[in-house]
Amino acid sequence: MPLEIEVKGRGGTPEHEAAQALAGVFRQGIPRTTDGHIVIISGATLFGQSTKDLDLIAYGDLHKFKLPLRFFAEDGHLQAGDVFVNNFCMCIELKRHAAHDVLLDGLVLKVRYNNKLHDVTHQSEKQKYALKQFIEERSGRKAPYVYNFVWLRGMSHDSLMGLVGKSEHARTGHNYLPARFALPWLFQLGCVQKRPYKVPGKDYWVANCLPKTEDIHSYELCQALDLFTRMREAVGDLTRKKIEKISDRLIKDQDYSEAIGKMLLVISGRAGTGKTVKLLRLAYDLARHQGKRCLILTYNLALVSDIRRLLALSRMPDDVDQHSVGIQTLHKFFYELAIGFGFGQESEHGNKYIPDFVSHYEKYLAEMMEFVNAGVIQQKDIQELMETRHDEVAWDHVLIDEAQDWQPLERDLIYKVFTPARVIVADGIDQMIRSQTHCDWAHRVKSHRIHERRCLRQKRNLVEFVNKYAEEFNLGWELEPIEEYEGGKVVVCASPNPYDLFQKEFQACQSFGNRAYEMMFLTPPALVVRRDPKKEKDKPEREFSLAGEFASNGFPIWDGTRKDLRSDYPTDVNQFRLLQYDSCRGLECWSVVCLQLDELVRYKADTYEVEDGQQSLLQEDAQDRKDKFVYLWSLIPLTRAIDTVVITLRNPTGSFADRLKRLAVEMPDFVEWRE
């Protein structure tokens, strides 16, 4: 059959226009007598990946197609000869910057956007590996080799040559395409990334992304990329409402709008008052309507995954040179900051890394702050860091989730890089996990504070239950319900895994238009199996011990306790999320099942540690302080649900169970005790 070229994607976009131009390059460079099938996709979304937006993806197979190419052999000598291209797979990042806004810093290509320089080389590499991972997750097979290119559509061939130089190494040691190019240029640059294979006893080479016997089209990449469209169509009612909510204008006419960019903005309130959602709405509004790049920082990987999913479904771009909203863990942020400050070592591939960063986290924080305070790293050095690692650490605004639980050193470094005026924090007041000492972000800093008192998440009955629970355990906690937000229920079950109850509550969840994603299970550490990765290489380091049992009872789970899944997000709306209690803060669901909540209470009591300085607080008894910490912690999972909380117990005759039973007797209209 003759050559077939398909161009897919939404028409009328710059990406689709570029896809059509690329199709023209293939048509002009491949003889009409050559058989083959090429697919070019514009504006692809890799749903489920942290780097999700790809301008162009092209893949295909060709029959007996060869090009005369030049490339460097393993011994470093220039080699020339016929290269057969049987199949290929590539991703292409588009840049429309003029030549004066593009520069080469060593081996790093940068483009100027809003007077800042952005690392396009790193961006292109991230896209390449995101596509490989996406293909492997969707197909269950090893991905083909992926070429990655940067197409500088605003630069002529002569301008590009002036940028990279005229030596042979300079001409081939990159992956840049000028505005107009011929097909040999594309594949010659591909040979730089993956050296062609010399066929023994023959005078030609082969450049394939797969063995010739395999079919590139068997990966059904187009169908896999349709996952994003299917997910948008299949999300439940709650997810749709969340997307609509974060997309609404928020800053306009608000009393704090004048504070943003001029002073620290603090949003304070207890669990359920909507702090995290407001952070997300502020970031979205600043990006969409003011063209800002906003970064949300949290230490909760599960929250990172949930927000990434929402941002993907809302079509928020993640390109480095346009408005965007990113989310990272604070450890990832400070890791990149440390590398930008010159810490770490170089790998054999030329990438900087810090092998012991997590184990010596506080030491690296202290050293960075010491350098800044001693003048070793000055403000101009920080500015240079902002320019050279823009996609990682340079943002217009940084928004801090659960700011009360950060370390003062982390806060101070954030201020050094961004200044307080570009910081917005959500302060949960007394919800402490990482520490038992409140971090005050407004200390000696000009600030504007908004205090949220009403519970915006939970229905009225759940707010009443949480208030009564707090009263029972002497927590000094009270939220105002929204009177018109009627309904909500709590079920306390003496059985640890009542699957019939779970099924009943899931049917109720579905009746409100929700999917399995909106029913979340929370587990204590006792139900998580930990393994030695050296002895059991093919199994995850940890996983939920009852995963198989849950699946056989009709509850297929996305296991957020597994280390290899924690930074991703579910891509199947028919999976139920399962997370450890320690990972649930900031999340919300229609229905939440608190598995063996009494086991969480026991675990928190057993692992409680008295911090330095607490022994001197004579006004508070040590046991009272411990109880307050433990039971405040138990409030966090109880404030995740919008409509229904299910609590199961490991020991239905213990003192904690007795107190829950007493609450059920006090509130029989909406709290059920089930044997």
DSSP summary character for residue 316: -
Q: Which strand ranges, in their side-by-side order, compose the sheet holding 204-206?
A: 66-72, 78-84, 204-206, 197-198
For the residues 448-477, what does the mean pLDDT come to?
91
pLDDT at 430 over 70: no
Query: Minimal CA–CA distance to 337: which of 405, 384, 406, 402?
Result: 384
For the residues 552-562, what does the mean pLDDT come to?
95
| pLDDT at residue 394 in the model | 72
| pLDDT at residue 387 in the model | 62
Collapse the DSSP code of 278 into the 3-class scheme (helix H, G, I; strand E, B; otherwise coil) and give the result. helix
- Whole-model pTM: value is 0.83
Backbone torsion region of residue 613, taken as left when φ is above 0, otherwise alpha when ψ lies between -120 and 50, otherwise beta = left
What's the CATH number for 460-674?
Answer: 3.40.50.300
Collapse the DSSP code of 439 into the 3-class scheme (helix H, G, I; strand E, B; otherwise coil) and give the result. coil
pLDDT at 604 over 90: yes
Kindly report the number of other CB atoms within 10 A of residue 415's CB atom. Answer: 16
- List, for residues 467-481, the tens digit of each pLDDT value: 999 999 998 888 889
Strands 36-45 and 4-8: parallel
pLDDT at 536 over 70: no
For the ranges 362-366, 431-435, 506-510, the lowest mean pLDDT is seen at 431-435
pLDDT at 541 over 90: no
271-289 burial, b if ≥16 CB within 10 A, otherwise e? bbbbbbbbbbbbbbbbbbe
For the residues 631-644, what does the mean pLDDT come to?
94
Long-range CB contacts (within 8 A, 24+) of 407-411: 407/362, 407/365, 407/434, 407/435, 407/439, 408/439, 409/362, 409/365, 409/366, 409/369, 410/330, 410/334, 410/365, 411/439, 411/441
DSSP summary character for residue 51: S
Common-topology check for domains 237-452 and 460-674: yes
pLDDT at 612 over 60: no
For the residues 397-421, what does the mean pLDDT come to?
93
Q: Which strand ranges, in their side-by-side order, compose the sheet holding 36-45?
A: 4-8, 36-45, 53-62, 87-95, 147-152, 176-177
Higher pLDDT: 301 or 60? It is 60
CA distances from 34 to 66, 202, 587 (A): 10, 22, 54
Q: Which two tokens stand for residue 458?
A: 């939970």
CA distances from 400 to 251, 293, 330 (A): 18, 14, 9
Q: Any idea of the CA torsion for 434, 437, 438, 441, to the nearest 10 degrees?
A: -90
For the residues 226-238, what does the mean pLDDT come to?
85
Collapse the DSSP code of 81 into the 3-class scheme (helix H, G, I; strand E, B; otherwise coil) and give the result. strand
- List, for residues 37-53, the tens digit of each pLDDT value: 999 999 999 998 888 99
pLDDT at 584 over 70: yes
Q: Which residue is listed with tokens 């990159």?
A: 174
For the residues 506-519, what does the mean pLDDT come to?
96
pLDDT at 435 over 70: no
What's the CATH number for 237-452?
Answer: 3.40.50.300
Higher pLDDT: 152 or 371? It is 152
User: Cβ(187)–Cβ(38) under 8 Å?
Assistant: no
Distance CA 224, CA 494 (A): 43
Distance CA 644, CA 646 (A): 7
| pLDDT at residue 199 in the model | 85
pLDDT more than 70, % of the chain? 93
| pLDDT at residue 245 in the model | 84
Helix locations, 512-654, DSSP H: 547-552, 597-606, 622-638
pLDDT at 432 over 50: yes
Q: Which two tokens stand for residue 112?
A: 């100027």
Higher pLDDT: 627 or 567? It is 627
Backbone torsion region of residue 85, taken as left when φ is above 0, otherwise alpha when ψ lies between -120 and 50, otherwise beta = beta
- The DSSP-derived string for 495-513 is SS--HHHHHHHHHHHHHTT
Query: Minimal CA–CA distance to 91: which of 152, 132, 63?
Result: 132
Question: Would you kindly state where each structural domain of the chain is located, as residue ranges?
Answer: 4-227, 237-452, 460-674
Assign 269 a pLDDT band (cuts: 50, 70, 90): confident
User: Cβ(163)–Cβ(102) under 8 Å?
Assistant: yes
| pLDDT at residue 617 in the model | 44
pLDDT at 566 over 60: no
CA distances from 550 to 309, 568, 572 (A): 24, 21, 16
DSSP bridge partners of 269: 452
- Report phi then psi at 558, rounded to 5: -95, 110
- List, for residues 55-89, the tens digit of each pLDDT value: 999 999 999 899 999 887 777 778 889 999 999 99
Distance CA 336, CA 344 (A): 10
DSSP summary character for residue 153: T
Q: Which strand ranges, in their side-by-side order, compose the sheet holding 576-580?
A: 557-559, 576-580, 519-523, 589-594, 641-648, 489-493, 671-674
For the ranges 186-195, 358-367, 385-394, the lowest mean pLDDT is seen at 385-394
User: Cβ(317)–Cβ(420) under 8 Å?
Assistant: no
| pLDDT at residue 618 in the model | 40
Kindly report the number of other CB atoms within 10 A of residue 202's CB atom. Answer: 11
N-to-C CA span, the chain: 69
